[in-house]
Amino acid sequence: MKTKLEFFKQDGRWYADVPEHTLDENEMILGSDEFLEKISRGNERIAMEFSTDSADSYLVKLSMSSHDEDGAEYLMSGPFIDAIEEGGVTLPLTIWICNVTHTVLGEHPDVIYITRFFDTYIGV
């Protein structure tokens, strides 16, 4: 399954743009916010294409390391992470993804691939 999801920054905090949920539910925390801040290049909107299908070509691979009733923690790896860190930028290597993921992806998949970044509004 492939899907696009937009994120936006408001009052210094990052949020997923998932209309079925409240602003509080959509807030990005525990590494997800830091990841978005570092990759946004100063933009206040960014979108990504995600895939739950095995991908030969991807930028970031998110592998679930733990899961509970509130969400899941994922380990980040992949060519984009390597390139950013080689350039001197330190990224969080783990991020938290809350249960809003169920609305977007149907569940917390064991692996999520980020296959593309969009740094302009795409109206997802």
In tens, the pLDDT along 6-25 reads: 999 999 999 999 999 999 99
What pLDDT, in 10s, does the model give residues 41-56?
Answer: 889 999 999 999 988 8
Arithmetic mean of pLDDT over the chain: 90
Residue 124 pLDDT greater than 70, yes or no: no
Q: Are 48 and 40 in contact (CB under 8 A)?
A: no
Residue 34 pLDDT greater than 60, yes or no: yes
- pLDDT at res. 123: 45
Average pLDDT rounded to a whole number, residues 71-83: 93
Helix (H, G, I), strand (E, B) or coil at 31: coil
Rounded Cα distance between 118 and 59, Å, is 12
The label of the residue with tokens 């249960």 reads 99
